[in-house]
Chains A and B, each alone.
Chain A
Amino acid sequence: MTVDHQLSVTELTAGYGGTPILQGLNLDLLPGQITAIVGANACGKSTLLRVMSRLLRPDAGQVTLDGGSIHRMPTRALARVLGLLPQSPVAPEGITVADLVSRGRHPHQGLVSRWRRTDDEAVAAALDATRMSDLADRSVDELSGGQRQRAWIAMALAQDTDLLMLDEPTTFLDVSHQIELLDLLCDLNARRGTTIVMVLHDLNLAARYADHLVALRHGQLLVQGPPEDVLVERTVHQVFGLTSRIVTDPVSGRPMMLPIGRHRTRAESP
């Protein structure tokens, strides 16, 4: 349906203030698929997402979109292809939902060109898809956590990019809102063919919703592939240092991880 863009990471080293977090990482994103990046805290998941969305400059190596380095592309042109929702973004005080979502159209407007009909259509479609139309005139400050996150997703949808990256989009959401949000991203992927890349904390949700899992450890790519290949007991142990049992999720048929701790296991109970 849409043009498939190829985003590739080669020999990437990046970090903050000279301390490298990612070291010599290589990755090709699969166009038109949902990819989830998983790993322990501070393994470089967010850093990888920030470099891939040009928020952070690599210390070495590069990120290319269709062969060209994204750090050399005009930022506005790139913003028409690649969207990013950072972790817990902050809305300006007093801004309405409609206004916030409309800002997603920024890269599509020229320096002088005015608001057009297509902009309205994109914003309306984004509001409808996220079921935020009725709240369009409300102030973002007044929304609940779930509604607010939907408003931000709507902004990213209005940007209408072929690639969408999200940094832990389900943080601070209760379980029903998490599922709602991931379903929404699946819809987007199915209807528009949008390539989705997200950092997810919850391994089981990642395995259920992603077509492709990328597991990081200490700033390096440990393993990648379909959930069945990645979510195995050995990998969970390597990534998190955790003993676990993998079963088949009776709902989705995907693998599901059951952690094994020191307590509350069947062997322990009398």
Chain B
Amino acid sequence: MTSTTIGILQRGRRLRRGWRRAMIGGLLALLAVCFLLALMLGQSVTPPADVLRVLLGGDVAGASFTVGQLRLPRAVISILAGMCFGMGGAAFQVMLRNPLASPDIIGISAGASAAAVFAIVFLSLDGASVSGIAIAAGLGVALLIYALSFKGGVAGSRLILVGIGISAMIHSFIAYALARAPAWDLQEAMRWLTGSVNGARLDQAGLLLLVLLVLGGLLLARSRDLEMLRMGDDVASALGVRVGMTRMTVILGAVGLIAVATATTGPIAFTAFLSGPIAARVVGSHGSVLVPAALVGALLVLTGDYAGQFLLPGRYPVGVVTGALGAPFLIFLIIRANRTGGTL
């Protein structure tokens, strides 16, 4: 009897694991194709052979500038920032068991964004110091929301409502700071309001890659405990998970990812919010959603930026496109929560 059950278990696990691997492989392949297309396509088409030569450091007349200077930095920053947003957002959603608990809804991205604007406009800083201030502000906002919604434990919906309120306050500060900016620049303003990879530079990639490796690695190392939090704090704790410590680690890691990406590209609207749920639908609920969410985030920003540049009438920053995708999903979630009587 037990041996047949073991057989059922092993077969089921093989199936689900195989499906998950195939889907992650598929997402990776799709990302690679999109990356190549983003380098090839634009106002002119560059053949793949030329793209490859430019990537390998060759000098190709006409292509070196468009591919090497214009498209490559955009594509690379899109992918890295998208990964940070996707993974950070999914970590929050899993931790609080609610897709609405994403950093871009509860004001953490807005906090990082506001700090970056403040540092640039009023303190005339740039580079890593802006990132540092954005991380500090993101963490500050996260802890503030946590403290304000703490009442003998943290309830997801209370935290979300507090976060939405804080987010609205911070957005008005961003608008104020931009209005006070000495050189009012629409592109710059859009970047800090909805996010944009305009003006992406390759030298920004190093910092993004570093936080992805360090903080992304930290999150992945805790992913099994994080996954257990989906069972509820009580069950997780009864199964030997140190809930408080896991939660603090996840907040640190996820806020760091979100804040550094925000300091680079601005809060690319709804990327953190959308990636996790899309990834969960693609790979199923077997295993951690962090890696697939990072891939989906990269895909969203990369294709969203391309669509904003070339597929729509006029040119829009990527945040406008992802924002247009995210808003209907937000409404869908709220309607569903109403209908099933579930939590927010």
Chain B hits for A80, CB < 8 A: 240
Q: A86 and B234: CB pair below 8 A?
A: yes
Chain B hits for A53, CB < 8 A: 238
Chain B hits for A50, CB < 8 A: 234
- List residues 199-255 of chain B with CB under 8 A from any CB of chain A: 224, 228, 230-232, 234-235, 237-242
Q: A75 and B240: CB pair below 8 A?
A: yes
Question: Complex: how many Å from CA A17 to CA B234?
Answer: 18
A185 within 8 A of B: no
Question: Complex: how many Å from CA A180 to CA B249?
Answer: 42
| Selected contact of B242 from candidates A75, A98, A136, CB within 8 Å | A75
| Selected contact of A133 from candidates B4, B152, B230, B241, CB within 8 Å | B4
A99 within 8 A of B: yes
Most B CB contacts (10 A, CB to CB) among A54, A80, A85, A90 go to: A90
Contact flag A98-B13 (CB < 8 Å), given A86-B238, A107-B239? yes
Q: How many A-B residue pairs have CB under 8 A?
A: 99
| Selected contact of A103 from candidates B10, B231, B284, CB within 8 Å | B231
Question: Complex: how many Å from CA A133 to CA B12?
Answer: 12
Q: B232 and A99: CB pair below 8 A?
A: no
Chain B hits for A102, CB < 8 A: 9
Contact flag A78-B240 (CB < 8 Å), given A55-B234, A103-B231, A136-B12? yes
Most B CB contacts (10 A, CB to CB) among A78, A104, A124 go to: A124
Chain A hits for B238, CB < 8 A: 53, 55, 79, 82-86
B331 within 8 A of A: no
Nearest residue, chain A, Cβ from B235: A89
| Selected contact of B285 from candidates A94, A120, A124, CB within 8 Å | A94
Nearest CB in chain A: distance from B282 CB, A: 12
Chain B hits for A121, CB < 8 A: 2, 6
Q: B8 and A137: CB pair below 8 A?
A: yes
Contact flag A103-B228 (CB < 8 Å), given A17-B152, A93-B285? yes
Chain B hits for A103, CB < 8 A: 228, 231, 239
Bitwise, A37-60 to B at CB < 8 A (1) or not (0) is: 000000000000010011100000
Q: B12 and A86: CB pair below 8 A?
A: no
Chain B hits for A136, CB < 8 A: 5, 8-9, 12
| Selected contact of A92 from candidates B2, B230, B239, B241, CB within 8 Å | B230
B280 within 8 A of A: yes
A127 within 8 A of B: yes
Chain B hits for A35, CB < 8 A: none
Nearest residue, chain B, Cβ from A84: B238
Nearest residue, chain B, Cβ from A109: B224
B16 within 8 A of A: yes
Contact flag A137-B12 (CB < 8 Å), given A75-B241, A104-B239? yes
Nearest CB in chain B: distance from A47 CB, A: 12
B286 within 8 A of A: yes
Chain B hits for A229, CB < 8 A: none
Q: A133 and B16: CB pair below 8 A?
A: no
Q: A106 and B239: CB pair below 8 A?
A: yes
Chain B hits for A159, CB < 8 A: 239
Chain A hits for B1, CB < 8 A: 128, 133
A149 within 8 A of B: no
| Selected contact of B234 from candidates A75, A77, A89, A127, CB within 8 Å | A89
- List residues 132-171 of chain B with CB under 8 A from any CB of chain A: 151-152
Nearest CB in chain B: distance from A266 CB, A: 44
Chain A hits for B2, CB < 8 A: 121, 124-125, 128
A29 within 8 A of B: no
Nearest residue, chain A, Cβ from B285: A94
Q: B286 and A99: CB pair below 8 A?
A: yes
Contact flag A89-B5 (CB < 8 Å), given A79-B238, A98-B13? no
Nearest residue, chain A, Cβ from B287: A99
| Selected contact of B284 from candidates A82, A94, A128, CB within 8 Å | A94
A123 within 8 A of B: yes
Q: B240 and A107: CB pair below 8 A?
A: yes
Most A CB contacts (10 A, CB to CB) among B13, B235, B241, B284 go to: B235
Chain A hits for B152, CB < 8 A: 16-17
- List residues 98-126 of chain A with CB under 8 A from any CB of chain B: 98-99, 102-104, 106-107, 120-121, 123-125
25 A/B residue pairs, CB under 8 Å, sorted by A: A17-B152, A75-B240, A78-B240, A79-B238, A82-B238, A85-B238, A86-B235, A89-B231, A89-B232, A92-B97, A92-B230, A92-B231, A94-B280, A96-B286, A98-B8, A98-B12, A99-B285, A99-B286, A103-B239, A104-B239, A106-B239, A107-B239, A120-B9, A120-B10, A121-B2
Q: A107-B239, A124-B3 known; 9 other A-B pairs, CB under 8 Å?
A: A55-B234, A85-B238, A90-B232, A98-B13, A99-B286, A120-B6, A124-B9, A125-B2, A128-B2
